[in-house]
């Protein structure tokens, strides 16, 4: 078994059929042994029936598991424990993959057996426009620096399963931003990294997702636990000094740009701005001098400073 595709499923009836069609279309273009593992997380809509009906109609190897622990992290961890493939790929139920993605990714896996294969992706917005999420190119100087700053999702990688298990990796359960604690640190654990530069994954900005809610959710504050965990990983690998500027920028981006958008939508978000200031004072008190921030346009730098001062 060369590849296990793991698809977390929770109330994804709007998108699941589209996702499964893309996955099985891509598998059909290969002759490799590939399994598809759908992990249902207590769906209350028709997701389970859609998955069951789809599997019955395909001769390919697929199964449905049920995970009782809530959250994407628990589902991914659970699916990986049941995987048999040499490589694993986490695919979200509201996304798609391109028809040639599996064939091209496995070609790289067979040729060099890397621990990680990063792929390009397209981010597609509700109005239909898209932009490119480029893969970090290991052939370019400074690629490790860019990897740390990048902030990719787990779906943007093929992961060698034995390597993952040898390092006892697992997604942090019970929080959102569960991948943030780990992904940017993975480059510290391997020198075997490859990339598929062209887009292989279609990442939809789903307005129903956990990160796009219309009401305040205390889990928005999970960003602080996730960043604490990421900082701890670099500390444990004695890499804080080497990657100081990269981590500092990662904190700036996630606290004063990305999460600030969520905090500003709700009156409860004021605590988020306060905690952001406290975290930056603790870890990166001279963040205003960050070299990556200083290279950004004036408009973005002003936005960052205003979000820091937000009350």
pLDDT tens digits for range 173-232: 988 888 888 999 999 999 999 999 999 999 998 776 655 566 888 999 999 999 999 999
210 occurs within a structural domain:
no
Percentage of the chain modeled with pLDDT above 90: 84
pLDDT of residue 185: 96
pLDDT of residue 99: 97
Q: Cβ–Cβ contacts within 10 Å for residue 257, how many?
A: 14
pLDDT of residue 228: 96
pLDDT of residue 275: 97
The bridge status of strand 87-90 relative to strand 157-160 is: antiparallel
Identify whether residues 130 and 279 lie together within a single domain.
no
Identify whether residues 78 and 226 lie together within a single domain.
no
9 occurs within a structural domain:
yes
> What total of structural domains would you count in the chain?
2
Identify whether residues 20 and 138 lie together within a single domain.
yes
Identify whether residues 170 and 267 lie together within a single domain.
no
Q: Which residues of the chain have pLDDT under 50?
A: none
pLDDT of residue 225: 95
Identify whether residues 192 and 234 lie together within a single domain.
no
Phi/psi for 75 (5° steps) reads -65, -45
Question: Alpha-carbon distance 143 to 65, whole Å?
Answer: 37
Question: 3-class DSSP state for residue 225?
Answer: helix
**Which domain-ending residue is among 177, 204, 231?**
204
Average pLDDT over all residues of the chain: 94
Question: Alpha-carbon distance 96 to 113, whole Å?
Answer: 25
pLDDT of residue 160: 98
Are 97 and 71 in contact, with CB atoms under 8 Å apart? no
Identify whether residues 33 and 101 lie together within a single domain.
yes
Identify whether residues 92 and 227 lie together within a single domain.
no
80 occurs within a structural domain:
yes
129 occurs within a structural domain:
yes
**Which domain-ending residue is among 150, 170, 204?**
204
Are 204 and 94 in contact, with CB atoms under 8 Å apart? yes
Identify whether residues 192 and 224 lie together within a single domain.
no
Give pTM, 2 decimals: 0.93
231 occurs within a structural domain:
yes
pLDDT of residue 209: 60
256 occurs within a structural domain:
yes
33 occurs within a structural domain:
yes
pLDDT of residue 211: 54
Question: 3-class DSSP state for residue 308?
Answer: helix
Identify whether residues 12 and 83 lie together within a single domain.
yes
Identify whether residues 14 and 151 lie together within a single domain.
yes
pLDDT of residue 229: 95
Identify whether residues 133 and 39 lie together within a single domain.
yes
Pick from 217, 204, 169, 210: which is nearest to 19 by CA?
204
213 occurs within a structural domain:
no
Pick from 140, 30, 143, 46: which is nearest to 89 by CA?
30
Identify whether residues 151 and 234 lie together within a single domain.
no
CATH number of the structural domain spanning residue 9: 3.90.550.10
**Which domain-ending residue is among 160, 175, 204?**
204
Structural domain harbouring 178: 3-204
């Amino acid at each position: 078994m060369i590849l296990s595709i793991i698809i977390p499923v929770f109330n994804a009836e709007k998108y699941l059929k589209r996702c499964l069609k893309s996955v099985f279309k891509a598998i059909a273009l290969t002759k490799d042994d590939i399994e598809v593992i759908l992990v249902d997380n207590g769906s209350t809509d028709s997701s389970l029936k859609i998955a069951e009906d789809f599997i019955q109609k395909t001769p390919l190897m697929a199964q449905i598991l049920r995970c009782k622990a809530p959250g994407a992290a628990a589902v991914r961890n659970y699916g990986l424990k049941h995987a048999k493939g040499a490589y694993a790929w986490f695919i979200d139920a509201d996304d798609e993959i391109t028809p040639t993605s599996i064939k091209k990714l496995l070609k790289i896996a067979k040729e060099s057996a890397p621990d990680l294969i990063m792929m390009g992706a397209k981010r597609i917005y509700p109005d239909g426009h898209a932009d490119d999420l480029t893969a970090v190119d290991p052939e370019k100087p400074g690629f490790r620096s860019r990897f740390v700053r990048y902030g990719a999702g787990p779906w943007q990688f093929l992961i060698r399963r034995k390597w993952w298990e040898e390092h006892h990796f697992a997604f942090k359960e019970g929080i959102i931003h569960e991948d943030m604690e780990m992904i940017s640190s993975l480059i510290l654990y391997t020198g075997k990294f490859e990339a598929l530069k062209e887009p292989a994954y279609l990442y939809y900005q789903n307005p129903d997702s956990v990160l796009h809610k219309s009401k305040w959710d205390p889990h928005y504050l999970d960003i602080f636990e996730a960043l604490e965990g990421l900082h701890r990983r670099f500390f444990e690998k004695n890499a804080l000094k080497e990657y100081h500027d990269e981590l500092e920028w990662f904190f700036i981006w996630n606290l004063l740009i990305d999460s600030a958008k969520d905090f500003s939508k709700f009156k409860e978000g004021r605590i988020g701005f306060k905690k952001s200031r406290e975290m930056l004072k603790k870890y990166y008190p001279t963040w205003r001098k960050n070299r990556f921030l200083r290279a950004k346009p004036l408009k973005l730098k002003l936005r960052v400073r205003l979000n820091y001062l937000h009350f």
